[in-house]
Amino acid sequence: MATKELNDRALVLLKTLIERHIRDGQPVGSKALLQEAGLPVSSATVRNVMSDLEERGYLVSPHTSSGRIPTAAGYRFFVDSLLQVSPLGPQAVQAMRDELHPDKSAQELIQSASGLLSSITAQAGVVTVPRQKANQLRQVEFLPLSGDRVLVILVVNEREVQNRIIHTERPYTEEELRQAANLLNQRFAGQPLSRAKHQILAEMEADRASIDGYLRDTLVLASQAFVEDEPEEDYVVAGESQLLGSTTPEELDRLQELFFAFQRKKDLLHLLETCTRADGIQIFIGDEAGFQVLDGYSVITAPYGDGDGTVGVLGVIGPTRMAYEQVIPIVDVTARMLSSALSR
């Protein structure tokens, strides 16, 4: 619904009702709404306006009360048309800057950001682990160790050195390993490790019968050496227990499903990955997220980067009656500060 379809009185009453519901989580009756809104109208007028807002889909009457609560559509209208975002105070900004100090490692920054989002908003804070850029092979070297062990020295990207020990089917001489390294450097230097590994496995499968022993041994060595470490976690969540404080007894089953979703990760990760391709703040209210488990909850996200582009997304997950005017700038500033720290 466009804002112009509601008169000023209806806008004031809708805004007041939603703000009160965010504050105390209870259905709002016409008397309480009139008292809080301070409009020079009767309770009957307020009831008529509330009925009209209910017909438009912005409010609903729970069967246990004569009062009304906002629907997801009502919250969407509120966020898009009525919300006034509150700027962060200097103390909050300084506290965030202290937590997201560029001297910390990337993993420490991710943990700090998720904890920060949770502690400031009293909701669950989530930060995806930065997407690793594909490692480009610069040089590989093999050194023989005792028995059937070989030390692999990989130089990737500009100057990053990775060392790992692999176990081979037979012992190799230093000369054999040197020749294998020379061949691999000639063929694969400058390629992403993952692409080189894929090509090597394809060659081993296709030429199993005709491949000579020397090349086979070289490819076997490479298939073990060209391995990229997978991140241990897809995203970091902090403060799930914070959601208990804003959950009514009737909502506990739904909250338990959300906790299970945190553990399964798949659905939430899909949503968060989608947000990395968007610019700025993204707000999903209730079923807008596309997952039933988030019905009754809102997700507010923002992408963050490392100076070379977007590498992840962070955000807050909480009930639809969260304090949007406070949470939105917190998510925005946290993303900016995390990007700044990672860029340094």
- What string of DSSP letters covers 204-249? HHHTTTT--HHHHHHHHHHHHH--PPPPS-SEEEE-GGGGGGG--G
Q: What are phi and psi of 309, to 5 degrees?
A: 145, 180
Per CATH, which fold does 3-82 belong to?
A: Arc Repressor Mutant, subunit A (1.10.10)
Looking at the chain, the domain(s) classified CATH 1.10.10.10 span 3-82
- For residue 248 the two structure tokens come to 């009514």
Looking at the chain, the domain(s) classified CATH 3.30.450.40 span 90-131+232-343
Q: What is the helix (H) or strand (E) element at residue 340, kind and residue range? A: helix 324-343
Q: What is the helix (H) or strand (E) element at residue 163, kind and residue range? A: strand 160-167
Q: Cα dist. 156→137, 150, 188 in Å?
A: 5, 19, 12
Could you give the CA distance from residue 183 to residue 59 in angstroms, rounded to a whole number?
A: 70
Domain 137-225 has CATH 3.30.70: no
Positions in the chain short of pLDDT 50: 1-3
Instruction: Annotate 219-254 with b (16+ C-beta within 10 A) or e (fewer).
Output: bbbbbebbeeeeeeeebbbbbbebbeebbeeebeeb
What pLDDT is recorded for position 211?
60
**Under 8 Å between Cβ of 286 and 298:** yes
Q: What is the helix (H) or strand (E) element at residue 195, kind and residue range? A: helix 193-206
Per CATH, which fold does 90-131+232-343 belong to?
A: Beta-Lactamase (3.30.450)
Q: Cα dist. 139→160, 167, 177, 195, 228 in Å?
A: 11, 20, 14, 15, 15
Could you give the CA distance from residue 336 to residue 216 in angstroms, rounded to a whole number?
A: 50
What pLDDT is recorded for position 289?
87
Looking at the chain, the domain(s) classified CATH 3.30.390 span 137-225
**Under 8 Å between Cβ of 142 and 177:** yes
